[in-house]
Amino acid sequence: MRVVFCLLAALFSVQLHAADLTVSAASSLTESFREIAAVYQNERPGTKVDLNFAASGVLLQQITRGAPVDVLATADMQTMDLADARHLLMPASRQTFATNRLVVVVPPATAAAMPADLAALAAKKIQRVAIGNPDSVPVGRYAQQALKEAGLWQQLSDKVLLTQNVRQSLDYVARGEVDAGFVYASDARVMPGRVIRAFEVPLRAPIRYPIAAISGSRHERDALDFIAFVRSARGQAILKRHGFSAP
């Protein structure tokens, strides 16, 4: 009887610690966070990580409207700043965990006439360019900023096809539905052979990825533990394999 009681007590203890941790992350983190979540879960029996991927602005809207999220990871500082201003973040939980670069990719079919810089996108042979919607997609804001500084934003306006997130831009390029697209360097590695990296887009500041726990999370300890794992040597090694750089 005593053995049965001990087993039940142990099971009850595990159930108390078990958590379904919901992590909302920018679309560009899809492969890296899936691997991170798998390793994290394997090392913490009873904890399940539910991943939700979308454009950073969309993720913020979901949380603002009450979506039950424990951890938020965005592809820009601006979106996280808005979350902080709306008092959505757990105090002192915000950390920068990775950096990335902006690149232009093209379909293999157009590689022979591959653009070498932003100015080349204005050529007649480039008819459609995929860019994330700057209103909600950080990669779109980065692209818009670079094009404005180069004096090309208005000139390319008739060519621009706005997308819902960076992966939609990548898909359009891979399918040959556009002549070029703005994505992150890490995204360009996702479809080898289906997209070709044309050039890196110079930016004034590096692209930084912040992560934070959401205020009111029912799994505060697990949320902070997940953030610590992302920033640990093992988490950073996974991110590096997927094309991200250290913060």
Cβ neighbors of 124 (< 8 A, separation 6 or more) are none
Per-residue b or e along 223-234, where b marks 16 or more CB atoms closer than 10 Å to that residue's CB: bbbbbebbbeee
Q: Which pLDDT score, from 0 to 100, does residue 18 have?
A: 55
Q: Which pLDDT score, from 0 to 100, does residue 110 have?
A: 79
Q: Which pLDDT score, from 0 to 100, does residue 158 have?
A: 95
Q: Which pLDDT score, from 0 to 100, does residue 6 have?
A: 43
Region 132-141 average pLDDT: 96
Q: What sign has the CA pseudo-torsion 235, 241, 246, 247?
A: negative
**Please, what is the average pLDDT of the chain?**
92
Q: What is the pLDDT of residues 181-196, one digit of tens each?
A: 999 999 999 998 899 9
Q: Which pLDDT score, from 0 to 100, does residue 12 have?
A: 40
Burial of 140 from C-beta contacts in 10 A (0-12 / 13-18 / 19+): buried
Tell me the domains of the chain and their CATH numbers: 2-99+208-241 (3.40.190.10), 102-200 (3.40.190.10)
Model confidence at 3, pLDDT cuts 50, 70, 90, reads very low
Annotated binding site: 28, 56, 166, 184
Q: Percentage of the chain with pLDDT > 90?
A: 87
Q: What is the pLDDT of residues 142-174, one digit of tens each?
A: 999 999 999 999 999 999 999 999 999 999 999
Model confidence at 113, pLDDT cuts 50, 70, 90, reads confident
Annotated binding site for molybdate: 28, 56, 166, 184
For the record, the structure tokens of 3 come out as 């053995």
Residue 6: DSSP 8-state: H
Q: Which pLDDT score, from 0 to 100, does residue 114 have?
A: 86
